[in-house]
Amino acid sequence: MPLSNRKSKIASLLLLAALALLALAPLFFTDGTEGKTREAVVTVDGKIIRRVPLARERDEIFTVSTPYGENRIAVSGGSIRVEGADCPAKICAKSGAISQIGEVIACLPHKLLIEIKEIK
Ligand SMILES: [Zn+2]
């Protein structure tokens, strides 16, 4: 086998190895929010009422009473949602569950905000 051919074979093997490493890279460098510790920060009128760590095994239901009305909030499986509220449109309850950093549920009539943040 001519030397040049062998060289290019080695080069292509190296390339394959590099590609394989790239394919495996997501296993070592998890991006997104999966590996991060998150908490839900509940505010009313801009004041923090409660911080709830969103661990997967945590299940909790609590009620937030605001001067404007009440929201029943449910935490389960690493996500949080408004389960019930006495606001007129119930947009907060209809928003469903949130779990990713930066996601927000707002109940405008109650000036209530739930925001997912990373715990640092
Ligand atoms: Zn609401």
Which pLDDT tens digit goes with each residue over 41-82?
999 999 999 999 998 888 999 999 999 999 999 999 999 999
Residues 70 and 114 in one domain: yes
Residues 24 and 56 in one domain: no
Residues 70 and 112 in one domain: yes
pLDDT at residue 2, rounded to an integer? 64
Residues 51 and 82 in one domain: yes
DSSP string, 35-49: TS-EEEEEEETTEEE
Residues 51 and 101 in one domain: yes
The number of residues in the chain equals 120
Q: The domain containing residue 7 runs over which residues?
A: 1-31
Mean pLDDT, the chain, rounded, equals 89
CA of 11 to the centre of ligand 1 (A): 62
Split into its structural domains, the chain has a count of 2
CA of 34 to the centre of ligand 1 (A): 28
Confidence at 31, pLDDT banded by 50, 70, 90: very low
Using left for φ > 0, alpha for ψ between -120 and 50, and beta otherwise, residue 107 falls in beta
Sheet-wide strand order for 104-107: 47-53, 38-44, 112-118, 104-107
CA of 6 to the centre of ligand 1 (A): 69
Neighbours of ion ligand 1 (CB under 5 A): 85, 87, 92, 107
CA of 119 to the centre of ligand 1 (A): 26
| Paired tokens of 83 | 């389960």
CA of 93 to the centre of ligand 1 (A): 6
